[in-house]
Structure 1
Amino acid sequence: MTKFTDLGLNESLLKALAEDGYETPTPIQAKAIPLLLDGRDVLGIAQTGTGKTAAFALPMLQRLMDSNRRAGPKGCRALILTPTRELAVQINDSIKSYGRHLRHRTACIFGGVGMNPQIRALSGGVDLLIATPGRLIDLMNQGYVRFDKVEEFVLDEADRMLDMGFVRDVRKVVDRLPGDRHTLLFSATMPTGVRDLADGLLRDPVKVEVTPQSTTAERIEQRVLFVNRDDKRAALTHIIDSHGIERVLVFTRTKHGADKLVRQLEQDGVGAAAIHGNKSQNARQAALKDFRKGKVKALVATDIAARGIDIDGLTHVVNFELPNEPESYVHRIGRTARAGASGMAISLCDTDELFYLRDIERAIRQTVEAHNDHDWHAPDVEAMRTRPPKPPKRQQGGGGRGGRPQGAGGGRPQGANANGNGKRFGGPGKPQGEQRTDHRPNRGEHADRKHTGNRADRGRRFGKPGRAA
């Protein structure tokens, strides 16, 4: 079995990995690290949770230390572009951890916060710059950052960049980069737009793919509970209490619904916090920090948290409301079963969501197992599973990630009434296969601008190395 010591990494990096208990690289790390150390451009096809951050961060740190050049005022030697603030923060934290025995300067810039501290951080030059496109373009246009010394360039989550409309900004940045740079592009999927982008960025790249594009996270046991809308709150509270769950990620479709559910869970004695596009950057980071430390048991999120947020040891994801498109379901449940662990995804489905369930099952090519041994089972809802009614009218208004509406509106269930005692549900079980698809916004719908950015720009570590086997 390949070890990190077999990949050609220097002693300082190996020491940091050993201190964190990492010996065995994940497949993407084992394949990509030697290639990147050799200076090859790499096209990596991998989802979040596969260890891709370490796959590019470790060789990047080593190459920068080996070349030992200076960035100069306002300059950077390595540039990592990522689509969201949360991902930028997580990558920055990972790099600081992996490189803690090396001398290097990093800066992390994104929108939604003051620009002056970021300008000061860039003024003397940095070795590594992690940035989201919108804020980087703003700083570039105002002359606060230079790219003429860039040796290493990483474009992370390229498919998501495409979905969120950042490709033009990415091209503007790339036009300023030196032609002899070393480049890495990562994407979970390879739609035509990403292939075109890769063709213009990479020179004689090596393609590294660790999972087929048609599959999603493995080892996830998926369950559906057919309940009436007004029983969802009670069913959720019971699931949390009866499982002995330490932390659970709960998804709603709307920002208003997330805030409402947090209040209801708190009333039921379950510590909870919300994360969505209307929350400030500081509030979101505080909620994630409390969740990771166990200060709150339930993190209630809209789809902005469905990709990129990595929570170690997260065993349960609950869809309090099913998403109105299969891709979001796949992204949501992929937050569990990370780094080889098992996990469970439980969906609460009412009559209005049967149509969404049917679409999800078609997309993942499997029937989600129904569990009815609980006090809130609704036989009339389950009876309509094979002949679901037409879906409720789509909502309009601002929303969660990827162009999915998040405004309040009719036909969107919000559970109520916490009464009754139910039977216990089991823990994670046998692996379940999924299908991974790329995400495209529906026409006329808009991304959660407050999260994704554009001009406004628009958490903790992700893509860790694999643990010792």
Structure 2
Amino acid sequence: MSFSNLGLSNEIIRAVNELGYTEPTPIQIQAIPAVLSGCDLLAGAQTGTGKTAGFTLPLLHRLSSDKNLKTTSNGYPPIRALILTPTRELAAQVESSVCDYGKYLNLKTMVMFGGVSINPQKRLLKGRVDILVATPGRLLDHVEQGTVNLSQIEILVLDEADRMLDMGFIRDIRRILSLLPKQRQNLLFFATFSEKIKALAAGLLNRPQTIEVARRNITAETVAQKVYKVDRDKKRQLLAHLIRQDNWYQVLVFTRTKYGADRLVKQLGDDRIQALAIHGNKSQPARTHALAKFKNGSLQVLVATDIAARGLDISELPHVVNFDLPNVPEDYVHRIGRTGRAGASGEAVSLVSVDEYHLLADIEKLIQKRLPFEIVAGFGANLPTKPQEIPNGRKENPKPKGRKRPARSNATGSPKTSAKQSARRTVASSLPTQKC
């Protein structure tokens, strides 16, 4: 089957072909006709299966087909489609895809997220915006300041809804839903199914079509998975050893905490291995710089936390390393889904200390597979070693007593800043742009 068989416009087919895509993936074959029909959709697919195109292509077709557009007080058509994502990186990636697929259409898109000045976003909102891609926190900042109007949204997309729920965005999502018109199309996409997703879908979707192209919570067959059992104090040395011995390049490494990510980057630097980190405490220019270097192959190792890594779209990424196992087993599926995409092969390596054996057991139970393991001479754990507790991943950098938690956080978990504070930031290299 080709994209031309799915009912998309010639302009969209032309853009898709120019990007080198000739055959739709299973999620696209099922999702595109469902979205074109106008019905609500509940869609589950592993990362790297093409789900972004599964909703952006039919969304673009539907919006471009309607020639009877209303105008708002500024003389422009209203915002007609809203795509919510959990992180800045994913928002930027989705907006880029919308622009690429819609390059021959008369539609305008913009992206908004925290960590950058809010003022350029305000200026863009004074012009025409047909499709808005946003993180919940920054979108609500605009709502509070009266700079965005969501009253005429026709299509709502919740991308990676499972991650948004895991990150505690349910209150923000409910508040945003209350600002939208009741008559609209709702598209809910998830990678891992849970009771939270079931509850959200029940309250949001109206007689939806349900699509699930892969068995729930499984890992891609194209990813070779391996566990190295290692002494807790020798993880960094083993990682450096594996990188050098096997000449690994373009290695995505996951740590449990931001502090751990920064420490590992410093330690790898001491080992003369070039590495940078991305996490919620990094400025947006720093994150953009690190991602750009990693994508173009000039950075050997990118160290990331789970939240910051959302939206990473790197073709043929060869290596993913779990320096720390995640506390939530579903996050393991998300992590290693960054490699082995679109039929390409990849390798996922986990460095597991005795403290994490229970986490490994939870992962194996979830994916219904025993992972092969080995011990590298000189790096194995001593048999008498007793496991230490990992309390919510905060053992290394505990929160000071008496410190109040912020009332609401933006998409990366950093405290919400005021408009005046945001306006002072200079982030020329990463400002959102209205490219389409």
Aligned-partner Cα distance in 1 for 2:71–2:155: 12
Matched, 1:87 2:90: yes
Instruction: Map 1:300-319 to 2 at 5 A.
Output: 300-319=303-322
SS at match of 1:154: strand
Shift of residue 243 of structure 1?
A: 2.5
Moved more, 76-85 or 341-350: 341-350
SS at match of 2:227: strand
In 2 relative to 1, CA 13–447 (structure 1 residues): closer, same or farther, beyond 3 Å? same
* Correspondence for 1:221 among 224, 227, 232: 224
Aligned-partner Cα distance in 2 for 1:71–1:408: 52
Moved more, 127-136 or 180-189: 180-189
Moved more, 10-19 or 66-75: 66-75
Aligned-partner Cα distance in 2 for 1:70–1:48: 37
Aligned-partner Cα distance in 2 for 1:190–1:300: 27
Shift of residue 277 of structure 1?
A: 1.6
* Correspondence for 2:413 among 452, 456, 461: 452
Q: Which residue of 1 aligns with 2:425?
A: none
Matched, 1:327 2:318: no
Shift of residue 165 of structure 1?
A: 2.3
Contact 2:217 2:333 in 1 (8 A): no
CA deviation string 1:309-362 (max 9, x = no partner): 222111111122233442333322222111222211112223333343333333
SS at match of 2:130: strand
Q: TM-score, normalised by structure 2?
A: 0.86
Q: Which residue of 1 aligns with 2:189?
A: 186
Q: Which residue of 2 aligns with 1:58?
A: 57
Shift of residue 450 of structure 1?
A: 7.2
Aligned-partner Cα distance in 2 for 1:142–1:21: 42
Q: Which residue of 2 aligns with 1:405?
A: 394
Contact 2:114 2:411 in 1 (8 A): no
Moved more, 171-180 or 16-25: 171-180
CA deviation string 1:1-52 (max 9, x = no partner): x211211111111111111110111111010111212222211122332211
Moved more, 172-181 or 351-360: 351-360
Aligned-partner Cα distance in 2 for 1:3–1:133: 35
CA deviation string 1:142-199 (max 9, x = no partner): 2211123222211222222222222222222222222332221112234333333323
In 2 relative to 1, CA 360–43 (structure 1 residues): closer, same or farther, beyond 3 Å? closer
In 2 relative to 1, CA 258–81 (structure 1 residues): closer, same or farther, beyond 3 Å? same
Aligned-partner Cα distance in 2 for 1:217–1:321: 21
In 2 relative to 1, CA 156–393 (structure 1 residues): closer, same or farther, beyond 3 Å? closer
Contact 1:82 1:132 in 2 (8 A): yes
In 2 relative to 1, CA 453–53 (structure 1 residues): closer, same or farther, beyond 3 Å? farther
Aligned-partner Cα distance in 2 for 1:448–1:357: 30
Consecutive unaligned residues of structure 1, counting only runs of 5 or more, are 396-403, 410-443, 461-469
In 2 relative to 1, CA 19–55 (structure 1 residues): closer, same or farther, beyond 3 Å? same
* Correspondence for 2:124 among 105, 114, 121: 121
Moved more, 121-130 or 221-230: 221-230
Q: What code does the residue aligned with 2:40 have?
A: D
Shift of residue 118 of structure 1?
A: 0.7
Contact 1:92 1:130 in 2 (8 A): yes
Q: Which residue of 1 aligns with 2:391?
A: 394
Aligned-partner Cα distance in 2 for 1:96–1:38: 23
Q: Which residue of 1 aligns with 2:378?
A: 376
Matched, 1:197 2:194: no
CA deviation string 1:258-283 (max 9, x = no partner): 12221222232322111112111221
Instruction: Map 1:14-413 to 2 at 5 A.
Output: 14-68=13-67, 69-70=69-70, 72=72, 73=74, 75-372=78-375, 374-378=376-380, 380-381=381-382, 389-394=386-391, 404-405=393-394, 407-408=396-397
Aligned-partner Cα distance in 2 for 1:323–1:447: 24
Shift of residue 447 of structure 1?
A: 11
Shift of residue 393 of structure 1?
A: 4.7
Moved more, 160-169 or 138-147: 160-169
Q: TM-score, normalised by structure 1?
A: 0.80
In 2 relative to 1, CA 354–163 (structure 1 residues): closer, same or farther, beyond 3 Å? closer
Contact 1:255 1:406 in 2 (8 A): no
Contact 2:4 2:13 in 1 (8 A): yes
In 2 relative to 1, CA 162–450 (structure 1 residues): closer, same or farther, beyond 3 Å? closer
In 2 relative to 1, CA 393–294 (structure 1 residues): closer, same or farther, beyond 3 Å? closer
Moved more, 295-304 or 185-194: 185-194
In 2 relative to 1, CA 109–249 (structure 1 residues): closer, same or farther, beyond 3 Å? same
Aligned-partner Cα distance in 2 for 1:71–1:264: 56
Q: What code does the residue aligned with 1:302 have?
A: T
Moved more, 53-62 or 225-234: 225-234
Count of residues in correspondence between the two structures: 408
Consecutive unaligned residues of structure 2, counting only runs of 5 or more, are 399-404, 419-429, 431-436
Q: What code does the residue aligned with 1:160 have?
A: R
Aligned-partner Cα distance in 2 for 1:447–1:243: 44
Q: What code does the residue aligned with 1:408 have?
A: N
Shift of residue 71 of structure 1?
A: 5.3
Q: Which residue of 2 aligns with 1:12?
A: 11
Contact 2:186 2:205 in 1 (8 A): yes
- Percent identity between the aligned chains? 49
